[in-house]
Amino acid sequence: MKSVLGPAAVLAVLLLAWEVLHLAVANTGLPSPLATLMQLVVLLGEAEFWAHASQTAQAFAAAVVLSTVGGIALGILLGMNRTAGTVSEPILVNLYSLPKVTLYPVVLLIFGLGISARIAFGIMHGMIPLTLFTMNAILQMKPVYRRSAAVMGLTPWQTSVSVVLPAILPEVITGARLGVSLCLLGVLIGEMFASRNGLGYMVMHAMERGDMPTVLAVALLLAIVALLVNAALLALDRAWRH
């Protein structure tokens, strides 16, 4: 219940602030929440909107799956080997703090203009934080867990799957929650810059036309989706902690 209440409260506060801002600015530059909502309803009835939405959904889903699996696997690999972990942590942190937009031309050169470039961009945003979360969780795990696994004769693979992963699962879920939001961000940015479809493109295109209700309607929809995904993962997180 709480996991629904939290996002709902955030949404209510946002809406209120929005309405106040709209009244304060008092021009068409910022449509009111009601006007936005009505535009959203209109959009939801258009086939073109759904084509864009499905592009984004596909890229987002692929980015989430790949960056989650990749981030956890890489995090375990680096975390299990202390030297690899200490060497790669600053590299990852620095890599992540680069403004990733500057790397986008490189991504486009490698992947072309198709959906794979946007997936790659989503992964670039989402995977590194999850890798760092996973790696640090392993470095902070009680050493006696791995020693126990060793004396019970577990192989490194068995140790990873049946000791390390369950031991760090709460941290991994937190990292995945962060990673999922960042994947969505990455995919949308990718769509905004070099793409002819997807919700990110739709927002950019509407902006060029000065169609503010559409810009805000899509933004609202994305905010709702992001909050719902977060709430679902938060519920999962709580369920795992008993």
Partner 1 sequence: MTVAALAEVADVSAVEDRHVRLAGVTRVFGRPGTPKSVHALGPIDLDLRRGEFFSVVGPSGCGKSTLLDVLAGLSKPTEGTAEFEGRPIDGVPAGVGVVFQEDASFPWLTVADNVAFGLRRAGVDAAEIARRVDYAVGFMGLKAFAGAYPAQLSGGMRQRVCIARTLVMQPRLILLDEPFGALDQQTRLLMGDELLRLWRETSATVLLITHALDEAAMLSDRVGVMSARPGVFIDVVETGWEVERDSRIVSHHRFGDITGRLWEKLRTESLKHLRDG
**Which token pair is 155?**
């192989």
Residue with tokens 């959906």: 115
Read out DSSP for 159-217? HIIIIIHHHHHHHHHHHHHHHHHHHHHHHHHHHHHS-SSSHHHHHHHHHHHT-HHHHHH
Residue 140 or 158: the one with the smaller Cβ distance to partner 1 is 158
Q: Taking CB under 8 A as the rule, does residue 167 contact partner 1?
A: yes
Report 169-198 residues binding partner 1 (CB under 8 A). 169
Residue with tokens 């709460």: 170
- Rounded to a whole number of angstroms, the minimum distance from the CB of residue 87 to partner 1 is 20
Among 45, 153, 208, 239, binds partner 1 (CB under 8 A): 153
Distance (Å, rounded) from C-alpha 242 to C-alpha 236? 10
Q: CA-CA distances (angstroms) from residue 92 to 104, 122, 134, 150, 180?
A: 18, 16, 13, 29, 18
- Rounded to a whole number of angstroms, the minimum distance from the CB of residue 129 to partner 1 is 23
Q: Taking CB under 8 A as the rule, does residue 147 contact partner 1?
A: yes
Residue 35 or 167: the one with the smaller Cβ distance to partner 1 is 167
Which range of residues in 49-57, 71-79, 91-99, 143-151 is near partner 1 by CB under 8 A? 143-151
Which range of residues in 7-15, 33-41, 148-156, 230-238 is near partner 1 by CB under 8 A? 148-156
Among 25, 95, 152, 228, binds partner 1 (CB under 8 A): 152
Residue 101 is classified by DSSP as G
- Rounded to a whole number of angstroms, the minimum distance from the CB of residue 168 to partner 1 is 10
Residue 157 or 208: the one with the smaller Cβ distance to partner 1 is 157
Q: Taking CB under 8 A as the rule, does residue 112 contact partner 1?
A: no
Nearest to 180 by CA among 53, 50, 71: 71
Q: Taking CB under 8 A as the rule, does residue 163 contact partner 1?
A: yes
- Rounded to a whole number of angstroms, the minimum distance from the CB of residue 79 to partner 1 is 17
Which residues lie closer than 8 Å to 229 by C-beta, 6 or more apart? Answer: 180, 181, 184
Q: CA-CA distances (angstroms) from residue 195 to 18, 36, 184, 189, 206?
A: 29, 25, 15, 10, 14
Positions touching partner 1 (CB under 8 A) are: 142, 144-145, 147-148, 150-154, 158, 162-163, 166-167, 169, 242
